[in-house]
């Protein structure tokens, strides 16, 4: 056991977060995200966090992981497809509130990209973390910054 480390962060995930350097990225996927196949595409590390949702994982990660201050949008969400344009995605507001707790830019640190561009970006991540999140469009990519 360690002090001041969120217990939701597994030893494997802590190791990966510590290994990551400036500008490395982690994709946190919801339960529907094709994480295993995305990770295989370019030999990314693939971890599971079954039974956990993205908001609580995101909050825990951001307690130990600085977002990149050298890019405008270090947190990236997957845009809705045209067929889903009328869907409301409340988890995005949760993400923005969580990010605001840990980064002074708040919602300004969050961007959106096309679904298939998101998949391409996920394949280039250092790690893909598959959660049990049931909300749709709940995937997020985080780019690591430096501790100053």
Residue tagged active-site, from 22, 70, 84, 120: 22
Q: Render pLDDT for 103-127 as a digit per residue (tens, 0 to 9).
A: 999 999 999 999 999 999 999 999 9
State the fold for domain 21-143: RbsD-like fold (3.40.1650)
Whole-prediction pTM value? 0.97
Domain boundaries along the sequence of the chain: 21-143
Q: Is 68 a catalytic residue?
A: yes
Residue tagged active-site, from 30, 59, 103, 119: 119
Q: Among the residues of 33-128, which ranges form H helices?
A: 35-41, 54-62, 90-102, 115-123
**Triad 71, 124, 55: Cα angle to 5°:** 70
Q: What's the longest Cα–Cα distance across the chain?
A: 46
Residue tagged active-site, from 59, 68, 95, 103: 68
Q: Is 126 a catalytic residue?
A: no
Q: Render pLDDT for 43-83 as a digit per residue (tens, 0 to 9).
A: 999 999 999 999 999 999 999 999 999 999 999 999 999 99
């Amino acid at each position: 056991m360690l002090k001041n480390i969120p217990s939701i962060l597994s030893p494997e995930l802590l190791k990966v977060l510590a290994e990551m350097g400036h500008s490395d990225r982690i994709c946190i996927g919801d339960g529907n995200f094709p994480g295993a196949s995305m990770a295989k595409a370019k030999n990314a590390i693939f971890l599971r966090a079954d039974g956990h949702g993205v908001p609580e994982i995101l909050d825990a990660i951001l307690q130990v992981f600085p977002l990149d201050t050298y890019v405008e949008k270090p947190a990236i969400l997957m845009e809705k497809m045209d067929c889903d344009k009328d869907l409301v995605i409340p988890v995005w507001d949760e993400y923005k509130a969580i990010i605001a707790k840990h980064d002074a830019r708040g919602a300004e640190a969050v961007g959106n990209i096309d679904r298939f561009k998101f998949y391409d970006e996920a394949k280039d991540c250092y790690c893909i973390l598959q959660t049990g999140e049931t909300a749709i469009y709940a995937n997020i990519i985080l780019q690591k910054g430096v501790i100053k």
